Amino acid sequence: MDGVIQYTKRRIDAVIGRTPEQTDQGSNAGIHLQLWVLVFLVVFPIAVALIVSTKQQGIVTSLGDLAPGTYALENYREAIVDYNFGRFMWNSLVMSTVVVAGKLVISVCAAMAIVYYRVPYKDLVFLFILFTLLLPVPVRFIPLYQLINDFGWGNSLLAITVPYLASATAVFILRQHFLSIPTSIVETAKLDGVGPIQFMVYVLIPMSKGVLVGVSIIMFVYAWNQYLWPLVIINSEANQVAQVGLQLLQGDVQGGQLSWSLVMAGSMLTLIPPLVLMIIFRKPLLETFTIQQK
Q: Choose the stretch contacting another protein; rule: CB under 8 A; options: 28-36, 42-50, 51-59, 206-214.
A: 206-214
Shortest spacing between CB 105 and another protein, in angstroms:
21
106 binds another protein (CB under 8 A): no
Find the binder of another protein among 17, 182, 255, 256 (CB under 8 A). 182
Cα–Cα distances in Å, from 104 out to 52, 68, 126, 129?
Answer: 38, 42, 17, 15
Find the binder of another protein among 207, 248, 258, 278 (CB under 8 A). 207
**How far is Cα 290 from Cα 294, in angstroms, rounded to an integer?**
7
Cα–Cα distances in Å, from 212 out to 74, 206, 208?
Answer: 40, 9, 6
Give the nearer residue to another protein in terms of CB position, either 81 or 185: 185
Contacts of residue 151, defined as CB under 8 A and 6 or more positions apart, other chains included, come to 158
25 binds another protein (CB under 8 A): no
- For residue 96, which of 286, 274, 237 has the smallest C-alpha distance? 274
Shortest spacing between CB 144 and another protein, in angstroms:
40
Find the binder of another protein among 56, 180, 188, 235 (CB under 8 A). 188
Q: C-alpha angle 108/109/115, rounded to 5°?
A: 85
In one letter, which amino acid is 2? D
206 binds another protein (CB under 8 A): yes
Shortest spacing between CB 189 and another protein, in angstroms:
7
Give the nearer residue to another protein in terms of CB position, either 114 or 189: 189
In one letter, which amino acid is 202? Y
Shortest spacing between CB 117 and another protein, in angstroms:
14
Give the nearer residue to another protein in terms of CB position, either 115 or 268: 115
Find the binder of another protein among 195, 252, 255, 279 (CB under 8 A). 195
Q: For residue 63, what is the DSSP state?
A: G
- Number of residues engaging another protein in binding (CB under 8 A): 18
**DSSP string computed for 127-180:** HHHHHGGGS-GGGGHHHHHHHHHHHT-TTSHHHHHGGGS--HHHHHHHHHHHHH
Shortest spacing between CB 209 and another protein, in angstroms:
8
Cα–Cα distances in Å, from 106 out to 122, 125, 171, 179, 212?
Answer: 17, 15, 8, 18, 12
200 binds another protein (CB under 8 A): no
Q: Choose the stretch contacting another protein; rule: CB under 8 A; options: 46-54, 63-71, 165-173, 187-195.
A: 187-195
189 binds another protein (CB under 8 A): yes
**How far is Cα 58 from Cα 261, in angstroms, rounded to an integer?**
5
193 binds another protein (CB under 8 A): yes
120 binds another protein (CB under 8 A): no
Give the nearer residue to another protein in terms of CB position, either 13 or 287: 287
Find the binder of another protein among 202, 235, 283, 289 (CB under 8 A). 202
In one letter, which amino acid is 156? S
Q: Choose the stretch contacting another protein; rule: CB under 8 A; options: 92-100, 103-111, 190-198, 273-281.
A: 190-198
Contacts of residue 72, defined as CB under 8 A and 6 or more positions apart, other chains included, come to 53, 54, 265
Binding site for another protein (CB under 8 A): 182, 184-185, 187-195, 198, 202-203, 206-207, 209
